[in-house]
Amino acid sequence: MKIFKKILDFILKRQVIGTIITLIGAWIIILLFNKLISKLLVSGKNDFEVKRRKTIIDLIQSIFRYIVYIIALLIILDFFGVDTKSLIASLGVAGVVLGLALQDTVKDFISGIFLVLENYLQVGDWVTYQDFTGEVIELGLRTTKIKAFDGQVMVVANRNIDTIINASQKKANVLIEVATGYEEDTVKVEEVLKQVIEEAKSEKLILNDSEYLGINNLGAHSVDYLLKIHCDQNKRYGIRRTMLRRIKLAYEKNNLKIPYNQIEVHHGKDI
């Protein structure tokens, strides 16, 4: 019984109750703020605007979370008798020293803010950093996370973002070369390829300035016809696969031959 009484007395202490209430209050405030800011900024007129607003939301939530954590820490320290006013004053001097020691971290924070304000990088953009290509899945105050097709995630310090190539700020041109047998009628082949493009345009799969460019090469075994497909950067690989499938089906429907490498073997006696 005495043990329970001691536990109860400990729990009812101002420091313990104050700490618990402060932590719960901080968690609730952060949760409510995140929901509110998401409702206010989540909608957009187009995909670009939605991505931009999502990035801004992530940044605002990150900054607010750090502010709440700092305030909560100061309140908890006050419960334990720490002179927070003197602490804040001393932190001003310590902050200068710490800032010099953590210059790279400060650069990351500043770069993270400017990345969003200048629309240089957004969540959902397709980028290349050194030899690593992938989608931006998280843009934080210190680091940016990029996820490749195979699931690998690279974490890049924001101060190094100026070396990243962003392919999502403009539309992509996907060039597709279609190898076709020499025996096939050129006019018919061109009509089939143009029809494939027009159908994709009508379905809003590709952009309107996609077009058939003409014969690109007279190869050893095939005539190579060239198509230019204009589309969003982050969809170009999927659209390329879709267009190749449509071309294959169109060739099968119109009995057009796609040649493949063949080996002709002669018996020695017949030569």
Q: What is the pLDDT of residues 109-143, one digit of tens each?
A: 677 666 666 667 777 777 888 888 888 887 776 78
Name all domains of the chain by residue range, CATH numbers in brackets.
2-101 (1.10.287), 172-253 (3.30.70.100)
In this prediction, residue 130 carries a pLDDT of 83
Distance CA 258, CA 250 (A): 11
In this prediction, residue 25 carries a pLDDT of 86
Mean pLDDT in residue range 35-48: 64
Q: What is the pLDDT of residues 254-269, one digit of tens each?
A: 999 988 776 656 666 5
Say yes or no to pLDDT of 14 above 80: no
Which pLDDT band, with edges at 50, 70 and 90, does 88 fall under?
low
